[in-house]
């Protein structure tokens, strides 16, 4: 039986919280000097009152992330729409929320509005209220544009937005570890909507070189060092950035499985060896400069891979308004292979330390 603190049954399945003492707020964290326009909040304040005091929780499922489902909710006072993610309270969930909170001041990262600690089915849960991103996923937006061609300049502008999110994360020593199109959503359907990075279920703080050990990944975007037993660092995000850039410029991934598997032995080998091509006709109009940028992102040796600072300083990114508006094959290819992309989006997340696997489904 679900109940709030007065023993009454609430209209939605989020009863009032248990009354443990308020934990101390974490120490202030300050971003590095290259981001003076951002201000990391002084501490994550977790609210202990019932979320239904402040929000109307609906049964509308917006999506399923790595560590929990996302529901549509409304602020009772303002009627503004938000997204709610529910996680079972544990150290891993607290780490996800804290890292996301620290990062959410970046304009290209989904913003956390409130965090609650409530009871659900007798267990403590963390309820994360986030801004609602109504514009859809990155690739879906390109697929649905009709006859209007997707251009190289648009690809450059998109990569700049994603790069700004990664640059901010890396500046505060956070590796996202799951950078992929399904985690890149637009704020609205409008042409000037902002692209934002979501889902911090795999995110981890990395304060030193090669400090990450757990192989967490989505197969099509995984860096070669994550597949092996060796330690790795936040440069794994740069590899994922290279894969996304490759797809944006042609419509298909550089590494894929031909056997209906999430990741095949042959695909693993090609990733580890860095074996991919730039076949025509999709790449015939793309400049050698852009291909070299991708090559520098898809270096199999992490120490040779382009850093986020180098990426953001590249002319193709820094001067995106000067990039030619060359029509690309991307929209057509993504549309023709839509069913296959749905399979790719359903690829298994892998976490060696977990006894279960989660299929990511965007609804």
Residues labelled as active-site residues: 178
Nearest to 183 by CA among 211, 146, 220: 220
DSSP designation for 212: B
Residues with Cβ within 8 Å of residue 172, at least 6 apart in sequence: 29, 31, 32, 40, 102, 103
- 176 burial type by CB count under 10 A (0-12 exposed, 13-18 middle, 19+ buried): buried
The kind and range of the H/E element at 232 are none
The residues near 34 (Cβ < 8 Å, ≥ 6 apart) are: 171
Report how far residue 224's alpha carbon sits from residue 122's, in angstroms, rounded to the nearest whole number. 42
Question: Are 253 and 267 spatial neighbours (Cβ–Cβ below 8 Å)?
Answer: no
Between CA 32 and CA 80, with CA 113 as vertex, the angle to 5 degrees is: 140
**Residue 85 assigned ligand-binding role:** yes
Count helices and strands (H / E) in the chain: 11, 11
Nearest one of 205, 336, 352 to 282, comparing CA atoms:
336
Answer yes or no: are the C-beta atoms of 194 and 187 closer than 8 Å: yes
Instruction: Round to whole Å and give the CA distance between 287 and 316.
Output: 11
Residue 356 CB contacts under 8 Å (≥ 6 apart), including other chains = none
- Direct distance between the N- and C-terminal alpha carbons of the chain, in angstroms, rounded to an integer: 29
- Rounded CA-CA distance 73/70 in Å is 10
d(CA 269, CA 222) in angstroms, rounded, equals: 12
Scan for tokens 């892998």, then name that residue. Answer: 350
Annotated binding site for ATP: 85
């Amino acid at each position: 039986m679900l109940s709030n603190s007065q023993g009454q049954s609430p209209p939605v399945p989020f009863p009032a919280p248990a009354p443990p003492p308020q934990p101390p707020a974490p120490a202030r964290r300050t971003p590095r000097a290259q981001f003076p326009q951002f201000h990391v909040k002084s501490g994550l304040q977790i609210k202990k009152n019932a979320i239904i005091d402040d929000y109307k929780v609906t049964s509308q499922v917006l999506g399923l992330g790595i560590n929990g489902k996302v529901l549509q909710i409304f602020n009772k006072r303002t009627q503004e729409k938000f997204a709610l993610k529910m996680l079972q309270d544990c150290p891993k969930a607290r780490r996800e929320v804290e890292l996301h909170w620290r990062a959410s001041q970046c304009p290209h990262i989904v913003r956390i509005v409130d965090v609650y600690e409530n009871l659900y089915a007798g267990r403590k849960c963390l309820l994360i209220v986030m801004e609602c991103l109504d514009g859809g996923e990155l690739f879906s937006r390109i697929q649905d544009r009709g006859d209007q061609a997707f251009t190289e300049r648009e690809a450059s502008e998109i990569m700049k937005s994603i790069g700004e999110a990664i640059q901010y994360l890396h500046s505060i020593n956070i590796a996202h570890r799951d950078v992929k199109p399904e985690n890149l959503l637009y704020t609205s359907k409008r042409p000037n909507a902002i692209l934002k990075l979501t889902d911090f279920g795999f995110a981890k703080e990395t304060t030193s070189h090669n400090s990450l050990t757990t192989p967490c990944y989505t197969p099509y975007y995984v860096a070669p060092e994550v597949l092996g037993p060796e330690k790795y660092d936040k440069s794994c995000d740069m590899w994922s950035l290279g894969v996304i850039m490759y797809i944006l410029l042609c419509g298909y991934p550089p590494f894929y499985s031909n056997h209906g598997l999430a990741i095949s032995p042959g695909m693993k080998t090609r990733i580890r060896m860095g074996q991919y091509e730039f076949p025509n006709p999709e790449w015939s109009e793309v400049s050698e400069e852009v291909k070299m940028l991708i090559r520098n992102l898809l270096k199999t040796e992490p120490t040779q891979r382009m850093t986020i600072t180098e990426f953001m300083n590249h002319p193709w990114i820094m001067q995106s308004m000067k990039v030619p508006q060359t029509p690309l094959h991307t929209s057509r290819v993504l549309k023709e292979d839509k069913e296959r992309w749905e399979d790719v989006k359903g690829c298994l997340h892998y976490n060696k330390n977990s006894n279960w696997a989660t299929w990511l489904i965007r609804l």
